[in-house]
Structure 1
């Protein structure tokens, strides 16, 4: 089994946090998004992963440190890491075809801006499985249309009239991903473009038209990491799941002085907390110092200093300094103080 992970986008909706760190490597509950996604998919599949192919963008942004992190992730799951580059942002289909050398045999394709919780047996008799989640407002999503055999017969983007309430979440299984490769090659060769880009859906629709059987795989939870607010919400939800799973979330190296931690919270290594209340639903990365503060429902990355703060629904990046009694400020592009 292979896992193919397109992750070449710059994550513009999550700026300023993605100006220096690719969105899939933003930590949620103490672990980068792509690390959680791939590990959870491997757990659901329940079988050995031979190869994980990562499709990255510009090497100036997705540099050696990113490649090293992803290689470590793959090897930790007993798989070979393959690194590909999408040289131009020409859509989901184009991104997948950037990894054409790895497109053979059974594979899962997963876009690295979402997290899942799932527990089910993969239907390997079908030609493909498309993961979906039941949603309240299907008109805001791409959804699947089913026949009376519960097979997927159509993909409909943001339907104005009700088709179904099963939204496509961006994770797919193919019994032979080489079939998708052939159909996407046709899409590229014949310049079939939707929304100005080459889309995976056009390859999938050609597979359906040729008689391939598509079924749904339903996830219990689908969590987005598209922008700051939903990423903070996803962090809170993930902390709750990890607490129920019995994971140890607070490092033994945390220094506490007159501090209260209200679970669930993730507190990384080497963190110092003084005269502070943390939680619930807070993640604090390695090496941070927080003093004289109250913080809840927030996500703080690494090596950051926070003083005199009262924060809720906050997201603070790496190597930042925040003093709630500030009089002098230096704030870059896309920053928000409310």
Structure 2
């Protein structure tokens, strides 16, 4: 059994972070989202992985390499444009051959991995096995409609008027029959070969498509709120560990990870939180559910429920809450008239200020 991991796409909902970085490499708990998916594949006993890459392919290759660090053998498959999930299957035909495979969206996060559902597929071996979960706004997802016996009856991609509240989770299992399906369908009105259309073809042709509910935690980390929520979930699982320097004037409360080379000086860290390698925290409070990446500097500030990416500086700002701060960004007080704000904000940014 092989895996097909999708790591292309432009990540428009996470701009401006994704102007300069692949969305699958935005970190939660100081580790790229993509790594969690690759680790879950290895844990499920899947070692041959094809990775679909697009415009950010060079960055993905640099981060993942040959896959050996995850116990995987990785083959990269370029996709000239994000033309749909079924298109990814189409262009991966030579890599997939006649093997069963799981398609895993690289920006999806499932607590507990996919070992159990992989074994269910291997045991029953339906033509396709899909994962579904109830969501409050199904119009943003592929929607699955089941019949009274729980069998898959219909699927639709991002419908304006959803017929159910069951959304497709970004993990799909297939036998080789899916290659007939992706060749048979036509591009959707948005110009993509939709995996929902390929699944519908399988249903219409009498092939067995099973659905399995996801009972644990799942997130499509496509926007800032979801990233922060996943970060919170992962930080809740961390065991405390201190490998950096914490001076006697500082206090660590709860589950706090201080990575090698980090320095905590005259500060209070309230876990769960992680302070990355080489980061410096001086005269500050780091609140719960916060990830400070490597080489950051936090000084005279209060940061809580936030993700601060590598090399960023937050100095003289209280409080910072529910924020994503990008690589090498600088956040500080304005040296202007009292009560004024001075902003240098890039394209697609969002700034919320207490007025």
Interval containing the TM-score (normalised by the shorter chain): 0.7 to 0.9
Task: Tell me the secondary structure at the aligned position of residue 130 of structure 1.
Answer: strand
Structure 2 residue 16 is the aligned partner of structure 1 residue 16: yes
Worse-superposed segment, 23-32 or 215-224: 215-224
Map of 2:95 onto structure 1: 102
SS of the aligned residue for 1:232 comes to helix
Once the 2 structures are TM-superposed, how far is the Cα of residue 157 of structure 1 from its aligned partner? 4.0
- TM (normalized to structure 2)? 0.83
Is this contact kept in 2: 1:40–1:117, CA < 8 A? no
In 1, the alpha carbon distance for the partners of 2:255 and 2:179 equals 39
Aligned-pair Cα RMSD in Å: 2.5
Alignment partners' CA distance in 2, 1:102 and 1:286: 36
Provide the rounded CA distance (Å) in 2 between the counterparts of 1:161 and 1:329.
40
| Moved beyond 6 Å, runs of 4+ | none
Residue in 2 aligned with 1:332?
Answer: 346
Q: Select 1:235's aligned residue among 231, 235, 247.
A: 231
C-alpha spacing 1:211/1:250, structure 2 compared with 1 (3 Å): farther
> How many Å separate the matches in 2 of 1:248 and 1:214?
44
* Alignment: residue pair count: 325
CA distance 1:266–1:149, change in 2 (3 Å): same
Q: Point out where structure 2 has 5 or more consecutive residues left out of the alignment.
A: 241-253, 337-341
CA distance in 2, matches of 1:209, 1:224: 28
**Which protein, 1 or 2, shows the higher relative CO under an 8 Å CA cutoff with sep ≥ 6?**
1
Q: Secondary structure at the match of 2:259?
A: coil
From the superposition, tell whether residues 201 and 138 of structure 1 become closer, same or farther in structure 2 (CA, over 3 Å). Answer: closer
2:229 aligns to what SS in structure 1? Answer: helix
Counterpart residue number, 1:266? 274
- Structure-2 residue corresponding to 1:184: 182
TM-score by length of 1: 0.87
The equivalent position to 1:75 in structure 2, one of 68, 71, 75, is 68
Partner of residue 56, structure 1: 53
What residue number does 2:259 align with? 251
Residue 25 of structure 1 corresponds to 25
Shift of 1:213: 1.3
The answer to whether 1:93 aligns with 2:89 is no
Q: Give how far 1:149 is off.
A: 4.2
1:1-338 aligned within 5 A: 1-43=1-43, 46-47=44-45, 49-58=46-55, 61-63=56-58, 65-72=59-66, 74-104=67-97, 105-118=99-112, 120-121=116-117, 122-124=119-121, 125=124, 126-157=126-157, 163-174=163-174, 176=175, 178-187=176-185, 191-219=186-214, 220-242=216-238, 249-309=257-317, 310-327=319-336, 330-338=344-352
Give the whole-Å Cα distance in 2 for the aligned partners of 1:292 and 1:34: 33
Tell me, in whole angstroms, the C-alpha distance in 1 between the residues paired with 2:30 and 2:85: 28
Shift in Å at residue 186 of structure 1? 2.4
